[in-house]
Structure 1
Amino acid sequence: MLRAFRELTLPARLLVVNQLGINLGFYLVLPFLATHMAGLGYAAATIGLVLALRNLSQQGLFLIGGSAADRIGARPVIILGCAMRIVAFGLFVLFDSLPGLVAAAVLTGLAGAFFNPAVRAYLMQEAGDRRAEVFSVFNVFGNVGALLGPLLGAALLSVDFRLVAGVACALFTLLTVAQLFALPARAVEPQERGLLGSWGEVVTNRRFLVFALGGAGYFSLFNQLYLAFPVEAQRVSGVAGAVSAVFVVSTVVGITGQVRITAWCKAHWTDGRSMAVGLVLMGVGFVPIGLAAPFVGTAAAGGWTTAGSLAVTPVLLGTVVFAVGQAMTNPFTMALLPTVGSRALAGTYYGWFYLVAAAVVAITTPAIGGLFDRFPDGTGRWVPFAVLLGIGLTGGAVIAWMQRTGRLAARPAPTST
């Protein structure tokens, strides 16, 4: 992995390390926000509203952030997004009132809406034809930050939540200063169309829309790290620590295997085939869980037992398969986006891609949750996991069809006479 990191350009290295810091600061605070608000006496519905507003402000404005990166350059948008996080996490330090917490949460989401598409657009341009390799390293460093953030946050939380938010605020300040002085500007390609014209190009690009619908399966399945996996892990074990085990296993697979998996796929398969197989594997990760679920009853709450450890084994096995599929899918999705879209509008296409994915997730995630409610135990418990398998197979089939029919091939450059 270090060799792959050394092969990156200097700006790419900066953004990769920056992603570690961004995830470290984000996961330092956000996993503990609900606990903090509950300790202040806020109702669960109020806490859910604040978290939903944060998510909405980010997902709903990805398109704006991506379009801004295409028009004024990715660098200033990256710096703006990081600087907004300084203010957002500073508000968590200063305010316990609901308006202050809402403002901080919304600003956190808005910062992500600017930062995330801009940094990926910059990397897409910087990586050239090595996009899959660059994004695999990017994912590894992001996973390290996501793993360390909650651990450091839990340690600091024993002192005070304000200390947690203050450390995150200081970290984002350092990252913003580093970007100001070390991240070089890139030339902005002139846009022949206005903003609406650029959006019109995207929505009339049929192969991109098909690709986005197939790729949305990745996000639908990825969200199950926060729903299906933890719900089933706690149900069969009766131990809240089983949920942590799911996240640790997933993150460790991503850290240790991401670069190797990407390199192997790049050497043996096309980008499209790698993405398709990855989506199928993500779905297959739910097979051992679905097969075992009807035969494992709901465990009583308590400490770890031998029976609970055995019962959670299919969940952890499925998590490993799922994480391998995730490691295959994500880098090649990012590698193919400029091909089915446009390098000149990389940020805009990324924004639209995430917007389509968010719409699909908004439909599939509540539906899967409803299936868990309908089949809380017993013989029908396999149903939601079968649906998740179907999502992976469908997404993989769409991408495989696009690969087979040449719809993932780069278009020839236009010629003039």
Structure 2
Amino acid sequence: MLPTASKLLMINNFGISLGFYMVLPFLATYLRGDLGFSVAFVGIVLGLRTFSQQGLFLVGGTLADRWGPRATIITGCALRIAAFGLYATTDSAVGVVTATVAIGVAGAIFSPAVRTYLMRESDTDRAEVFSVYNVFGNAGALVGPLLGAALLSVDFRLIAAIAAAVFAVLTAAQLIALPRQPRIEHHDSVVGSWGLVLRNRRFLIFTLGGCAYFALFNQLYLALPIEAERVTGNPQSVSVVFVVSTVLGIGLQMPVTAVARRLLRPGSAAGLGVGLMGAAFVPLAVSAPILDTAAESRPIAGWLTLLWPVILTTAVFSIGIALANPYIMELLGVVGEDRLSGTYYGWFYLVSAVASLVVGSVVGRALDITEPSWRALPFVVLAAVGAVGSAIVAEMTRRNLLQEQSVTARS
């Protein structure tokens, strides 16, 4: 049974995903169509959102340790009230950029803090807690775009205003109902705590393997949509990827975690999940050289015949995510220490962001190759990334490096 504070954060995650996905999927269309900005400007805006969030996770994690996760969560949510409110009230380039960066900074602030709060709230069964957290997030990610699409015919600014209202309700609920956790004293400086993390070899090796998870996860927005549109010639086919992924994420997350808890060690579950995410791209490595690129949009009736490799990959990929994510989150608390849990999360996400950028760049260039004989290359690369990440985590598990140790041993 989840503590009351954890239940509130589950609802909070649903609301965060709901508000975010009401707006962000439609932002590019709004900026390009309604406001008339160039494609280059839209690309820069979307890139700034990702960079400002992933690049500042370390700052957010450090704040969670120094301020306490409760204050940091509330600060991040309050910042998103202002960010989405700015979307609703401005159409200038400066206003749009400011709002977008603020959304990213807010995510960088509250995301590590929420995970730190949940980890400190749950001494045991942390993977199950993170599983429930993922289910609520996926539910918000499913409902958000549907609600946004329904309101888009009225006005994008209305969507942004409703999203701001959602974050206002969340912030108020946290101020009123989210309990303070016992304050942890820090006798070292911020730089000193960073140095302690970077001297933790177990953490560094685990991060090297675990960052493959995020490098692969980002292909949900790159390789899979691009391949779906390539074979069908229709951008609407991309929705199939997200529907399959979200529905399976909601339906399978808890059962997969429960089965893994019974049958596998946490390290084995995390390693197997990352390996499964990589192996999921094997069907595309086989089918991509065979299936032609659509010269024009093909009818919806023929999509399933063309999309079955993408659907199969997405399904296996989603099972891998459901298996890997909760145990990676749990193990970060094992290879780190509670006193600096936010800082450990921050460093992990920062390294993962760099890995995602590198892998995304390589895969993106490979996806640009049009010769049929080379179409398998990006998917072979992704399968290899999964295999390497899985092997690192599996080897740490074999050597018992993913077991609880004393704080002294960790340091």
- The whole-number CA distance in structure 1 between the counterparts of 2:373 and 2:104 is 40
CA 1:301/1:127 → structure 2, altered by over 3 Å: closer, same or farther?
Answer: farther
Which of 10, 14, 17 is matched with 1:20 structurally? 14
The residue type paired with residue 193 of structure 2 is S
The residue type paired with residue 379 of structure 2 is F
Counterpart of 2:383 in structure 1 is 389
Which of 71, 78, 81 is matched with 1:76 structurally? 71
Matches within 5 A, 1:163-242: 163-242=158-237
Which of 24, 33, 49 is matched with 1:54 structurally? 49
| TM superposition shift of 1:192 | 2.7
Q: Is contact 2:237–2:303 with CA below 8 Å preserved after alignment?
A: no
Matches within 5 A, 1:91-106: 91-106=86-101
| TM superposition shift of 1:258 | 0.1
Counterpart of 2:142 in structure 1 is 147
Q: Return 5+ residue gaps in structure 2 as ranges.
A: none
| TM superposition shift of 1:261 | 0.2
**What is the Cα-based RMSD across aligned positions, in Å?**
1.2
Counterpart of 2:24 in structure 1 is 30
Q: Is contact 2:76–2:110 with CA below 8 Å preserved after alignment?
A: yes
Which of 369, 373, 378 is matched with 1:379 structurally? 373
CA 1:292/1:94 → structure 2, altered by over 3 Å: closer, same or farther?
Answer: same
- The number of aligned residues is 408
- The whole-number CA distance in structure 2 between the counterparts of 1:130 and 1:192 is 30
- The whole-number CA distance in structure 1 between the counterparts of 2:203 and 2:383 is 24
Q: Return 5+ residue gaps in structure 1 as ranges.
A: 1-6
The residue type paired with residue 403 of structure 1 is T
Is 1:263 the equivalent of 2:283? no
| TM superposition shift of 1:309 | 2.2
Q: Is contact 1:50–1:105 with CA below 8 Å preserved after alignment?
A: yes
**3-state secondary structure, aligned to 2:289:** helix
State, as a whole percentage, how many aligned pairs show the same letter: 51
| TM superposition shift of 1:377 | 4.4
- The whole-number CA distance in structure 1 between the counterparts of 2:49 and 2:376 is 33
**3-state secondary structure, aligned to 2:293:** coil
- The whole-number CA distance in structure 2 between the counterparts of 1:64 and 1:126 is 22
- The whole-number CA distance in structure 1 between the counterparts of 2:89 and 2:162 is 13
Counterpart of 1:322 in structure 2 is 317
Deviations 1:324-347 (A, max 9, x none): 000001000000001101111110
| TM superposition shift of 1:230 | 0.5
The residue type paired with residue 203 of structure 2 is F
The residue type paired with residue 377 of structure 2 is V
- The whole-number CA distance in structure 2 between the counterparts of 1:191 and 1:49 is 39
| TM superposition shift of 1:47 | 0.8
Q: Is contact 2:69–2:114 with CA below 8 Å preserved after alignment?
A: yes
- The whole-number CA distance in structure 2 between the counterparts of 1:192 and 1:354 is 25
- The whole-number CA distance in structure 2 between the counterparts of 1:188 and 1:404 is 36
TM-score (ref. length: structure 2): 0.97
| TM superposition shift of 1:42 | 0.5
- The whole-number CA distance in structure 2 between the counterparts of 1:239 and 1:96 is 30
| TM superposition shift of 1:379 | 2.0
Is 1:369 the equivalent of 2:364? yes
- The whole-number CA distance in structure 2 between the counterparts of 1:292 and 1:324 is 21
Deviations 1:320-373 (A, max 9, x none): 000000000100000000110111111000000001101111111011000111
The residue type paired with residue 322 of structure 2 is A
- The whole-number CA distance in structure 1 between the counterparts of 2:246 and 2:303 is 22
Counterpart of 1:296 in structure 2 is 291
- The whole-number CA distance in structure 2 between the counterparts of 1:306 and 1:110 is 43
| TM superposition shift of 1:242 | 1.5
Q: Is contact 1:299–1:308 with CA below 8 Å preserved after alignment?
A: no
Deviations 1:152-182 (A, max 9, x none): 0011110001100010011111110000001
- The whole-number CA distance in structure 2 between the counterparts of 1:378 and 1:60 is 36
- The whole-number CA distance in structure 2 between the counterparts of 1:114 and 1:79 is 9
Counterpart of 1:248 in structure 2 is 243
Counterpart of 2:120 in structure 1 is 125
| TM superposition shift of 1:240 | 1.7
- The whole-number CA distance in structure 2 between the counterparts of 1:337 and 1:243 is 33
Identify which range, 272-281 or 402-411, moves more after superposition.
402-411
- The whole-number CA distance in structure 2 between the counterparts of 1:268 and 1:323 is 20
The residue type paired with residue 63 of structure 2 is A
- The whole-number CA distance in structure 1 between the counterparts of 2:20 and 2:155 is 17
TM-score (ref. length: structure 1): 0.96
Matches within 5 A, 1:315-354: 315-354=310-349
- The whole-number CA distance in structure 2 between the counterparts of 1:27 and 1:261 is 25
